[in-house]
Structure 1
Amino acid sequence: MGRAKQFDPDVAVERAMQVFWRKGYGATSPQDLVDALGIGKGSLYNAFGSKHALFELALRRYRDEQAVQLIELLERPGPVPVRLREALELLVRMDLDDPDRKGCMAVNAAAELGGVDQVATDLVRRMLERTESAFQALVEEGQRSGQIDPGRDARKLASLLLTTMIGMRLTARTADGPDRLNRVVDALLDSL
């Protein structure tokens, strides 16, 4: 009869997510994970198989917990420009209030592993596609209600919103305050 696990795998994935998010995949050593999770290397590999398998779980956790927040804000009721502003300003606050300035784990993974690690690339691509679809649905709603020019291409605007959001998340990692990011939000909303 095997021993009961000495740790909660769900808590372990959460802690691993924080380490990978802060340091990136390549800079995270197995020892970093062992230290953060409070388990031995043997338990780490027995429970998760590999550092990469744990990273996949952590990236999925990020998607399920963090990335969904933006989509939920975009989908709630209210004036479209207000929801869009609140969503973008929320990202600015989250990024600037984070003492580690981790940014977005999906964007970080895309910058580090995009095109190199197929699993990470696919996970991030799906996250970004989901966010872009939420932006497109919001733009189309705004067009139907007369809050956004119906003559504009909703898909192109959604791509612009996504790409601008990604740039904002990267810029926030080195920003010394919210001014530049707030100007981006203002300019983006003015362009709609």
Structure 2
Amino acid sequence: MGRPKQFDPDAAVEQAMEVFWRKGYAATTPQDLVDALGIGKGSLYNAFGSKNALFHLALRRYRDSQALALIELLEEPGPVRARLRKALLLLVEMDLADVDRRGCLAVNTAAEMGSSDEEATDLVRRMFDRTEEAFRAAVEEGQRAGELTPGRDPRAQASLILSTLVGLRLVARVEQGPDRLTRAVDALLDAL
């Protein structure tokens, strides 16, 4: 008799994240997860408790990988305006290149579950807070360096950037090319 298949919970969360990201929470069935993870339903529930609990782990995984990558881009050296443009356009390019047009898992979760899952809503809100804080720091740096208009509230400017980013991620799910999205990024940067 062969050895039982090794189950790696960390890899399973990564695979589950991909399924939830592609299909959304409601459209993902336990069978979809079982198929993607290569385990039985019993193992799925023994390891994670529920589909919802696994989703929260997947959303945390997304936060720890995808969302932090944006913050790292914003903290690179160089002119602030150029870093902001590079970060926003990189997300646009990634979204447009994705054949599944998954967009952003945090944005998708906010749209799908914003009023129905308190824990998911809190996770997304904290991701948005963290991202907005990185934008605020960049705006303050740009204002000190004379790159961005001084005297404007950095928190308000950061909220504007975050809101534009959320819109970009949604529009990119249906857009066929970068033109509209690039115009929006350039208009945002001109407003700063």
1:43 & 1:116 partners in 2: Cα distance?
27
The alignment status of 1:47 with 2:36, answered yes or no, reads no
The alignment status of 1:121 with 2:136, answered yes or no, reads no
1:4 & 1:124 partners in 2: Cα distance?
37
Residue deviations 1:1-32 (CA, integer Å, cap 9, x gap): xx977311111100000000011111100000
Runs of at least 4 residues off by over 3 Å: none
TM-score normalised by L of structure 2: 0.97
2:5 & 2:139 partners in 1: Cα distance?
48
1:125 & 1:30 partners in 2: Cα distance?
26
Partner of 1:180: 180
2:5 & 2:40 partners in 1: Cα distance?
12
1:164 counterpart letter in structure 2: T
Question: How many residues are matched?
Answer: 190
Partner of 1:191: 191
2:64 counterpart letter in structure 1: D
Partner of 1:110: 110
Partner of 2:35: 35
2:179 & 2:42 partners in 1: Cα distance?
48
What is the aligned-residue identity percentage?
73
Q: Decide which moves more: 30-39 or 3-12.
A: 3-12
TM-score normalised by L of structure 1: 0.97
1:12 & 1:161 partners in 2: Cα distance?
34
2:65 & 2:187 partners in 1: Cα distance?
29
Shift, 1:115, TM fit: 2.0
Equivalence map 1:1-192=2 (5 Å): 6-192=6-192
